[in-house]
Structure 1
Amino acid sequence: METTKDLVAADGDSVAAEGWLGEFEAGFAYVAGRFSRVEPRRQARAFLLGLLSDVDTRSCWQLAEQAGDRTPHRMQRLLGEAVWDADAMRDDVRRYVVDQLGDASAVLIIDDTGDLKRGLASVGVQRQYTGTAGRIENAQVAVFLAYASRHGYTFIDREVYLPRCWTDDPQRCAAAGVPEQVRFATKITLARRMLTRAADTGVPAAWATADEFYGGDRGLRRDLQARGMGYVLAVARNHRITACPALGPQRADQVVAALSGRAWNRYSVADGAKGPREYDRAWVAITPPDDEQIGHHWLLVRRSLTDGELAFYRCWSPRPVGLPTLVRVAGTRWCIETCFQTGKNATGLDEHQVRRWDSWYRHTTLVMLAHAILTVIAARERARAHPTDQQLIPLTVNEIRHLFAKLISSTAHTIIHWLAWSRWRRLHQARAKTSHYRRRDQVEHQPT
């Protein structure tokens, strides 16, 4: 019989997969104490292993089948009725990430993502714009905070966005289990809360970055200045700044139009799939408002080499820094986009088939831990890369999840187990069909 070590040795020992289970257990140990009883603790571990397996979707049904449970009830109870604190686990996940990937020059990244949904019962769902679809759709939107260091990048915080149509409807909120004290908060407010939590707990980071939706908010910029954390925040072309006090406030694109050709410098942030990502960059010192005189303020501009498209960033640092530093931080923002892609593809970030407030936070926090474990494994593999591996790209989170599923999460069950689950699904579908027909008949026979 082949073992994991045999499989690794067959490839010249280029992958230390025999240690991945140990890293999984080390990551889970950070959160295990949140479960006072052994049953939910074991179920949470099985849930995580299921997230890292080859199931088609990360629904409670498929995770339970993968884990060897007879029904989905235990997985559903873990997300719904079991006693544990998702926010406390979030703090544990953040501590795990900082302990394993922490770096004083790291960058905090804010962004939101949407999951397309049917119906109106899932917490936070409404017709709203989501970048996932690039248009207005029936969707659930959440704001995330990612941590990016030279070792790797992953999520450390999350908040679901509740539109006013939810917070103004107490009965709808109660039906979805939203706590009574929850009030309407904009996505920017949620972002500021998460940045505050990270700073209050001493997360080592020197910079923050976000897209122009967040970068245009003065309150967020002031929060970061008060913490002494530098920022490179995207802003719109019509964002007003003062580059020349004699001219007063001007649009960012007006300031750039007056720059000479000598103001531009060509930089490559990193190599992409199709080669170096090169852009022309320029920066201009700007005069801040009277109540923001501390530190150093700049406008950073990126110009595409192909079509001349411009992108603008408002920057601040408590001490002088060079243009390469600002360019590096600006280029770090794409890390959270990668986290969204790998979080959804590799760990089921968007596959939460839950409706209630607690269930959403519990599922999302467990997914964050699974993603963090994969990220830490990837960092370990890069650090121990064998000289013969130079002709290969480094192991990615997606590739590690694929190998983890084959070498570690793979389970073997009896034929009776698989047939019993087939019977369970068909029985549940039959009951749902009968219930649907009964409701339709009741509607059709109502007196007019």
Structure 2
Amino acid sequence: MDRQVEARAEVRFSAYVAGLGSELGHADRIGPLRDYCTGLILPGERKSVEPMAAKTAPARTAAQHQSLLHFVGVAAWSDEKVLAKVRQMVLPSMQRQGPIEAWIIDDTGFPKHGKHSVGVQVQYCGQLGKEANCQVAVSLSIANHSASLPVAYRLYLPKEWATDKVRRTKAGVPKDIRFKTKPEIALDQIRWACEAGLPRGVALMDAAYGVDSRLRTGMTALGVSYVVGIQPKLLMWPPGTEPKRKGRPLNNTGRRDEPDLISAKRIARDLPNEAWQTIRWREGSAEWLSSRFARVRVRVGHTQLKPELISEEWLLIEWPADEAEPTKYWLSTLPADIGFRELVDYAKLRWRIERDYLELKQEVGLGHFEGRGWRGFHHHATMCIAAYGFLVSEKETIPPSATRRPAPFRASALPEGYRPRGSPLRPERHIPNSIATLRVRLIKALIKNMPRCPCCGSTAPTSRRQL
């Protein structure tokens, strides 16, 4: 990438940060805002306050540390206003790459060793794939096939924390924050998105949220279509059947003398062979991703609704050919006439948020905050989303079809005779508009105006061009 391209990236970054500064409520916070966002972009294993202070102000690290610590942990600027400004500046560039297709509800865990960080306790941590001591935050992201952007973000406060006045006061938890389950937080975020007039998308979420009947009912009441993961044991009336007894909801076990209620797993196993189709949904790194799917119209047993009010939904099932039984199940309120592949495409679009959360953690340090307070946790997350949002907006500056530069082949790297003479060189696995590549471009632009290179510590300008 030439120097003019890098220089333009730095100009856009400065304008972007200036736009965010208008929502901070005080001019003295604009400088720490830029330094904090710059620190999140710069290379480094940790994106906590102390190492970022050393990189952004090496000559006055102690003062910079105090400035950034006050900005993220004490200053009372509004996370909601800053996130709204991020959305205002980033959303147009996302929509130029394709319309918003989905609202994705997900949670992400941050492993912790101590017990004093706000909201920390032993609970399921998706990052580790098991129960562990961690914090968990619930988020709502808007997404298309090009990118996703978190628009709402809140720490899940376990009941033990929500009812402990001493710990609440010490961590600075606002008085209006009460205990809510993760699905309840998710429904609040979806309700807010509807009221805020965000571009509508199909709500996507995994089985941890999809099994909650109140959440599904709440989304339907708001007019939000969904494709949600479910557990195979969820009871439902199979195709061609309906409730025989009407007038009152089912009991908590999902039954009320309804002999036709069976599990989603049994429905899948009873389907004939011709019901299954091999469908591919997106291009992977080496080939198209595909699997076997079937779909049927069902009515789900509901403990909150009278049977006559229960509408038909799609039950989508994935059963890979090399598996002994079905592996995934989804429910969807998308229209009855939706195409089979389109339904699968929505169900599989959750890969977008999984990959983007990985980039939020790896590229801008979402999980690196080392403070213990409620305000600091959310302020750091807001700054990470802001830095990530700028990189998302930069995607449109480089088309996905841009020429890929092949990496030079080094004959000494392989044993003699390993590579047959005349075989083509394998090109470098380099995606020009990936978040990682765009971040490197911005780093190159930012360090030219810094007194010391954050990578090698050198003050010589020539060494920085080797980055």
Task: Give the alignment's TM-score, normalised by structure 2.
Answer: 0.80
Task: Map Cα deviations across residues 60-118 of structure 1 (whole Å, 9 max, x no partner).
Answer: 11111222143200000101222311122122223333333135551011111111112
Q: Which has the higher helix share?
A: 1
The residue identity in structure 2 corresponding to 1:74 is S
Q: Verify: 1:290 aligned to 2:308, yes or no.
A: yes
Q: Verify: 1:79 aligned to 2:69, yes or no.
A: no
- Tell me, in whole angstroms, the C-alpha distance in 1 between the residues paired with 2:128 and 2:351: 18
Select the residue among 268, 273, 279 that pairs with 2:280: 268
The residue identity in structure 2 corresponding to 1:70 is T
Retained in 1: the 8 A contact 2:140–2:153? yes
Deviation at 1:375, TM superposition (A): 1.4
Consecutive unaligned residues of structure 1, counting only runs of 5 or more, are: 9-15, 420-448
- Tell me, in whole angstroms, the C-alpha distance in 1 between the residues paired with 2:121 and 2:34: 33
Match of 2:344 in 1: 327
- Tell me, in whole angstroms, the C-alpha distance in 2 between the residues paired with 1:270 and 1:52: 30
- Tell me, in whole angstroms, the C-alpha distance in 1 between the residues paired with 2:122 and 2:21: 38
Deviation at 1:216, TM superposition (A): 0.8
Retained in 2: the 8 A contact 1:287–1:297? yes
- Tell me, in whole angstroms, the C-alpha distance in 1 between the residues paired with 2:439 and 2:28: 26
Retained in 1: the 8 A contact 2:147–2:352? no
Instruction: Indicate the SS of the match to 1:286.
Output: strand
Q: Verify: 1:302 aligned to 2:340, yes or no.
A: no
Q: Verify: 1:193 aligned to 2:188, yes or no.
A: yes
Q: CA RMSD in A?
A: 2.4
Deviation at 1:414, TM superposition (A): 6.1
The residue identity in structure 1 corresponding to 2:377 is W
Retained in 2: the 8 A contact 1:51–1:348? yes
The residue identity in structure 1 corresponding to 2:322 is T
The residue identity in structure 2 corresponding to 1:340 is Y
Task: Map Cα deviations across residues 374-416 of structure 1 (whole Å, 9 max, x no partner).
Answer: 1121243226x4456797534311222233223324654369x
Select the residue among 230, 239, 250 that pairs with 1:235: 230
Correspondences of 1:174-253 after superposition (within 5 Å): 174-244=169-239, 245=241, 248-253=260-265
- Tell me, in whole angstroms, the C-alpha distance in 1 between the residues paired with 2:273 and 2:101: 33
Retained in 1: the 8 A contact 2:162–2:178? yes
Match of 1:399 in 2: 437
Match of 1:171 in 2: 166
Select the residue among 35, 42, 49 that pairs with 1:46: 35
Match of 2:412 in 1: none
Select the residue among 252, 265, 278 that pairs with 2:290: 278
Q: Percent identity?
A: 25
- Tell me, in whole angstroms, the C-alpha distance in 2 between the residues paired with 1:226 and 1:343: 32
Correspondences of 1:12-27 after superposition (within 5 Å): 16-27=5-16
Retained in 1: the 8 A contact 2:145–2:352? no
- Tell me, in whole angstroms, the C-alpha distance in 2 between the residues paired with 1:177 and 1:277: 46
Match of 2:362 in 1: 345
Match of 1:160 in 2: 155
Deviation at 1:290, TM superposition (A): 2.5
Retained in 2: the 8 A contact 1:345–1:398? no
Retained in 1: the 8 A contact 2:112–2:134? yes
Match of 2:418 in 1: none
How many residue pairs were aligned? Answer: 403
Retained in 1: the 8 A contact 2:53–2:61? yes
Retained in 2: the 8 A contact 1:212–1:236? yes
The residue identity in structure 2 corresponding to 1:402 is V
The residue identity in structure 1 corresponding to 2:291 is Y
- Tell me, in whole angstroms, the C-alpha distance in 1 between the residues paired with 2:229 and 2:277: 19
Deviation at 1:210, TM superposition (A): 0.6
Instruction: From the superposition, tell whether residues 19 and 261 of structure 1 become closer, same or farther in structure 2 (CA, over 3 Å).
Output: farther
Task: Map Cα deviations across residues 305-358 of structure 1 (whole Å, 9 max, x no partner).
Answer: 332542100010256311111111111111111122100100000001111011
Deviates more, 1:239-248 or 1:82-91: 239-248
Correspondences of 1:126-165 after superposition (within 5 Å): 126-165=121-160
- Tell me, in whole angstroms, the C-alpha distance in 1 between the residues paired with 2:384 and 2:284: 27
Retained in 2: the 8 A contact 1:98–1:204? no
Deviation at 1:39, TM superposition (A): 2.1
Instruction: From the superposition, tell whether residues 70 and 393 of structure 1 become closer, same or farther in structure 2 (CA, over 3 Å).
Output: closer
- Tell me, in whole angstroms, the C-alpha distance in 1 between the residues paired with 2:165 and 2:432: 50
- Tell me, in whole angstroms, the C-alpha distance in 1 between the residues paired with 2:56 and 2:387: 16
Task: Map Cα deviations across residues 206-243 of structure 1 (whole Å, 9 max, x no partner).
Answer: 30111101011112212222232221100001011212
Match of 2:462 in 1: none
Consecutive unaligned residues of structure 2, counting only runs of 5 or more, are: 243-258, 301-306, 407-426, 458-467
- Kindly report structure 1 stretches of 4+ aligned residues shifted beyond 6 Å: 388-391
The residue identity in structure 2 corresponding to 1:100 is S
Deviates more, 1:405-414 or 1:169-178: 405-414
Deviation at 1:180, TM superposition (A): 1.7
Instruction: From the superposition, tell whether residues 28 and 88 of structure 1 become closer, same or farther in structure 2 (CA, over 3 Å).
Output: same
Q: Verify: 1:372 aligned to 2:389, yes or no.
A: yes
Select the residue among 114, 117, 122 that pairs with 1:119: 114
Retained in 1: the 8 A contact 2:37–2:384? yes
Select the residue among 75, 92, 97 that pairs with 2:90: 97
- Tell me, in whole angstroms, the C-alpha distance in 2 between the residues paired with 1:26 and 1:259: 57
Task: Give the alignment's TM-score, normalised by structure 1.
Answer: 0.84
Deviation at 1:189, TM superposition (A): 1.0
The residue identity in structure 2 corresponding to 1:413 is P
Retained in 1: the 8 A contact 2:431–2:437? no
Instruction: Indicate the SS of the match to 2:52.
Output: helix
Instruction: From the superposition, tell whether residues 104 and 248 of structure 1 become closer, same or farther in structure 2 (CA, over 3 Å).
Output: farther
Instruction: From the superposition, tell whether residues 131 and 138 of structure 1 become closer, same or farther in structure 2 (CA, over 3 Å).
Output: same
